[in-house]
């Protein structure tokens, strides 16, 4: 272990000067509004947000190279957002959702003060603010098509790397499972995202982006390359066995694609026949359960993979700090203490509403719910299906996961704030057009002879 620490230190010493110089040059280009530099920042931020190349215990919150890289991307995003702060102030004056979001994020930051680990909670709340302001700045400087293409590439890179390490380095690319008192390498893909649910979300987003923007992506990258990206995404999603991501993707693909009713009916009939015939075409008594569970136990379904036990503990803990919560990102320090009651280590509440209530109290839950509702309404009122898809993805993921608010920012945080700030940018553009129209009318009125 000491040798590994020395290696990390040596790498840091060697890489620090060129990295610092590169960051300095890139920061000047980003602040100057150069579109290419800003898209590179977006690519790096998306790749790094869930990237894990060293497995750590939940309790290990020390600084290392991967943490420093993440902080570097957040700092750059925050810097970009600050250069556009004058525009954001105008957005707050014309958009109710922007006002609610900044109040909610400020409350998350305040709640970190009384968290069991204030420093970690402050870093987690900073990651939210950085991505929120950063993607606002990105969308002011770049077109939606450019950002979609950049994100598709970044997500495809993560899924491709994850599949490579799954087969080449199984000790890193596969989830470790308990067999008795020992841990063994399992079959679920965790890849370079750290855990199966994270890589499952990333893989689902690859397919979702291709579904919504297929024509635009094929123009940029060509049909074969986009098809390969989708195949890789579907493969990673299946190997991750992340059922929440699979369900969210299925719902959103049906939402974005007008699939003939006859095809849907035929698919339902085929699935029904397979499930009905399964007990008669195999001698394995657990085969029907193998289709929908990992443990071959019906209890996995009735307890939602033991989430019902987690929720009961979380609800009991909420009563202790009902209004203000335990502090943002505090779940990772509190909930694992109840492993004997839960039966597994749970770093968060495994539900977006319970997570917000537990960490930020009823105050934070109320503010966050209003902010999300207003963002959904903004996108719905103009018929922006892409923004709605990203918002719905975060909400569907939040049924059984902490979604965007599990602690340190993740890929769901990115897509949520992407959709939210897309509404902010739209609001300021509409406001500018209204002002121009008003000035035009007033100018013409002055020139009309009396």
Per-residue pLDDT tens over the stretch 397-447: 998 888 899 889 999 999 999 999 999 998 888 766 656 545 545 554 434
246 shares a domain with 219: yes
**How confident is the model at residue 280, as a pLDDT?**
45
409 shares a domain with 332: yes
333 shares a domain with 188: yes
149 phi-psi bin (left φ>0, alpha ψ -120 to 50, beta other): alpha
229 shares a domain with 169: yes
40 shares a domain with 5: no
Which helix (DSSP H) or strand (DSSP E) does residue 5 occupy? helix 2-31
The whole domain housing 26 covers 1-31
Is pLDDT larger for residue 122 or for residue 187?
122
417 shares a domain with 404: yes
129 shares a domain with 17: no
64 shares a domain with 25: no
The rounded mean pLDDT for the chain is: 81
Q: What percent of the chain has pLDDT over 70?
A: 72
Number of domain units in the chain? 2
Query: Whats the size of the chain, residue-wise?
Result: 450
b/e per residue 194-217 (b: at least 16 CB within 10 A) = bbbbbbbbbbbbbbbbbbbbbebb
114 shares a domain with 20: no
Decide: pTM greater than 0.75. Answer: yes
258 shares a domain with 313: yes
Tokens of 441: 């009318």
172 shares a domain with 61: yes
15 shares a domain with 64: no
Which helix (DSSP H) or strand (DSSP E) does residue 187 occupy? strand 182-189
Any idea which of 210-224, 240-254, 293-307, 425-439 has the lowest mean pLDDT?
293-307
């Amino acid at each position: 272990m000491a040798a590994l620490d020395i290696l990390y230190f040596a790498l840091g010493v060697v890489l620090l000067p060129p990295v610092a110089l590169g960051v300095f040059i890139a920061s000047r280009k980003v602040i100057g509004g150069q579109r290419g530099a800003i898209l590179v920042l977006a690519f790096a931020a998306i790749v790094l947000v869930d990237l894990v190349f060293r497995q750590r215990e939940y309790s290990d919150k020390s600084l290392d190279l991967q943490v420093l890289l993440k902080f570097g991307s957040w700092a750059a995003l925050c810097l970009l957002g600050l250069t556009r702060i004058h525009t954001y102030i105008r957005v707050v004056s014309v958009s109710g959702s922007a006002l609610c979001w900044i109040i909610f994020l400020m409350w998350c930051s305040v709640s970190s003060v009384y968290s069991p680990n204030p420093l970690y909670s402050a870093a987690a709340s900073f990651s939210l603010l950085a991505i929120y302001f950063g993607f606002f700045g990105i969308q002011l400087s770049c077109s939606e098509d450019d950002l979609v293409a950049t994100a598709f590439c970044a997500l495809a890179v993560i899924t491709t790397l994850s599949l490579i390490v799954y087969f080449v380095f199984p000790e890193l690319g596969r989830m470790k499972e308990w067999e008795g008192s020992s841990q063994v390498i399992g079959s679920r893909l965790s890849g370079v995202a750290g855990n199966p649910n994270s890589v499952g979300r990333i893989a689902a987003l690859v397919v979702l982006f291709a579904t919504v923007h297929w024509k635009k992506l094929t123009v940029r990258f060509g049909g074969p390359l986009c098809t390969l990206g989708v195949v890789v995404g579907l493969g990673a999603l299946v190997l991750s066995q992340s059922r929440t991501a699979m369900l969210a993707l299925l719902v959103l693909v049906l939402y974005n694609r007008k699939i003939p009713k006859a095809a849907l009916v035929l698919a339902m009939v085929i699935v029904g026949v397979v499930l009905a015939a399964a007990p008669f075409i195999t001698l394995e008594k657990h085969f029907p359960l193998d289709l929908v569970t990992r443990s071959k136990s019906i209890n996995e379904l009735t307890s939602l993979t033991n989430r019902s036990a987690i929720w009961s503990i979380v609800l009991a803990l909420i009563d202790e700090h009902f209004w203000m919560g335990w502090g943002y990102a505090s779940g990772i320090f509190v909930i694992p203490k109840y492993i004997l009651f839960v039966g597994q280590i749970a770093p968060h509440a495994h539900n977006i509403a319970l997570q917000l209530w537990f960490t930020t109290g009823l105050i934070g839950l109320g503010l966050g719910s209003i902010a999300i509702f207003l963002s959904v309404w903004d996108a719905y009122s103009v018929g922006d299906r892409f923004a709605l898809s990203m918002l719905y993805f975060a909400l569907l993921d939040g049924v059984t996961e902490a979604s965007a608010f599990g602690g340190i920012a993740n890929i769901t945080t990115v897509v949520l704030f992407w959709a939210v700030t897309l509404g902010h940018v739209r609001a300021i553009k509409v406001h500018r057009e209204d002002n121009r129209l008003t000035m035009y009318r007033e100018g013409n009125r002055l020139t009309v002879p009396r």
